[in-house]
């Protein structure tokens, strides 16, 4: 199995580079110039999730997509704290290591839950927040995936649990990516999502450690502090989501003091796959909006 196939990243995401963070090195991909946007994916995907969104924004924004140690990454992080708060710290540390200030943080799926932890614990470098369909409140993780992925929590079991995903057709099943997106997952992106944990025992151990720590106490505790984050928030939620309830989108829009809700039609959880043009349009418009009370 070739590394090129396993660790492929879409060239549209820009140049890859590594940043030093506590516990190891993490890869980021960067392109464009202008106000910085930082993109955070969830479990068992990587920066390729944003490959259709970034090129639509790069002409006007500096786009930085993180490759988080969540099971589809290349660089193992055996010494890193991969608890939910540790992962939120990794995002903040990567932003700092990249020299970014006042970023618009864009999170999806697990990455959206981690983004909530970040803005309620280490908000210093975040100017705006975009939450697409993601974990929140008592839904961290969704019960469906908690059950389906439970065997992967056994040390050394990741290769066996994810082995069926070598078969591309099986990736379209509900227990894989089938209920996360309307569109068909492209083979090269799907390979980059599924093969790393099958190829590297260290990557499999990273995702096991990350999954082991996920618990709703973290997102529920973060929700108690949403009122303290008074910077602009956009909730861009998929109307057809099967895992992240629509009422959570409405609740997030109420609980953040400076938030608004936009629906993304004809999209499931992975709106960057299903409706990248609509999502990019929402992000660009949101970032260009003047901040209330800011000097003219």
Query: Which residue would you say has higher pLDDT here, 156 or 276?
Result: 276
- The pTM of the full predicted model, rounded to 2 decimals, is 0.93
The answer on pLDDT for 144 being more than 90 is: no
The answer on pLDDT for 1 being more than 70 is: no
In whole angstroms, what is the distance from residue 194 CA to residue 191 CA? 5
The answer on pLDDT for 293 being more than 60 is: no
Query: With bands split at pLDDT 50, 70 and 90, how would you rate the model's confidence at 175?
Result: low
What was the pLDDT predicted at 157? 61
The answer on pLDDT for 160 being more than 80 is: no
Angle at alpha carbon of residue 205, lines to 200 and 209, rounded to 5°: 155
Listing DSSP states for 33-51 in one string gives -SSEEEEE--TT--GGGGT
What was the pLDDT predicted at 86? 98
What was the pLDDT predicted at 172? 76
Cα–Cα distances (Å) from 10 to 1, 74, 190, 205, 207, in that order, read 19, 14, 12, 25, 22
Least confident of 92-106, 134-148, 236-250: 134-148
What was the pLDDT predicted at 3? 84
Domain locations in the chain? 3-288
126 within 8 A of 103, measured Cβ to Cβ: yes
- Mean pLDDT (the chain, rounded): 92
Least confident of 82-91, 109-118, 175-184: 175-184
Residue range 61-90: average pLDDT?
Answer: 97
- Read off the DSSP letter of residue 291: P
Least confident of 122-131, 224-233, 287-296: 287-296
Residue range 85-110: average pLDDT?
Answer: 98
The answer on pLDDT for 42 being more than 80 is: yes
Instruction: Establish whether the linkage from the previous residue to 141 is cis, with ω within 30° of 0.
Output: yes
Q: Minimal CA–CA distance to 223: which of 251, 189, 263?
A: 251
What was the pLDDT predicted at 167? 62
Domain 3-288 has CATH 3.40.50.12280: no
The answer on pLDDT for 28 being more than 50 is: yes
What was the pLDDT predicted at 296? 39
- Read off the DSSP letter of residue 244: S
Query: Which residue would you say has higher pLDDT here, 69 or 160?
Result: 69
């Amino acid at each position: 199995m070739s590394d090129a196939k396993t660790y492929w990243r879409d060239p549209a995401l820009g140049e890859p580079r590594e940043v030093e963070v506590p516990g190891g090195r993490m890869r980021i991909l960067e392109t464009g110039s202008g106000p910085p946007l930082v993109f955070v994916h969830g479990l068992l995907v990587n920066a390729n999730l944003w490959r259709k969104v970034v090129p639509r924004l790069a002409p006007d924004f500096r786009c930085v997509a993180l490759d988080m140690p969540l099971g589809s990454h290349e660089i193992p992080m055996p010494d890193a704290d991969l608890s939910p708060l540790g992962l939120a710290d990794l995002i903040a540390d990567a932003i700092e290591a990249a020299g970014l200030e006042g970023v618009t943080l864009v999170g999806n799926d697990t990455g959206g839950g981690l983004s909530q932890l970040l803005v309620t614990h280490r908000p210093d470098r975040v100017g705006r927040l975009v939450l697409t369909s993601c974990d929140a409140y008592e839904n961290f993780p969704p019960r469906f995936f908690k059950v389906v992925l439970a065997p992967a929590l056994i040390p050394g079991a990741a290769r066996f649990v994810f082995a069926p995903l070598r078969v591309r057709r099986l990736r379209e099943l509900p227990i894989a990516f089938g209920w996360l997106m309307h569109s068909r997952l492209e083979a090269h992106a799907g390979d980059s999502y599924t093969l790393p944990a099958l190829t590297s025992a260290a990557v499999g151990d990273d995702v096991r450690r990350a999954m082991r720590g996920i618990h709703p106490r973290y997102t529920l505790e973060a929700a108690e502090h949403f009122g303290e984050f008074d910077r602009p928030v956009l909730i861009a939620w998929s109307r057809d989501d099967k895992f992240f309830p629509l009422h959570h989108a409405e609740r997030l829009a109420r609980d953040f003091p400076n938030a608004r809700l936009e629906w993304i039609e004809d999209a499931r959880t992975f709106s960057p796959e299903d409706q990248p043009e609509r999502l990019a349009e929402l992000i660009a418009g949101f970032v260009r909006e003047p901040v209330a009370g800011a000097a003219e």
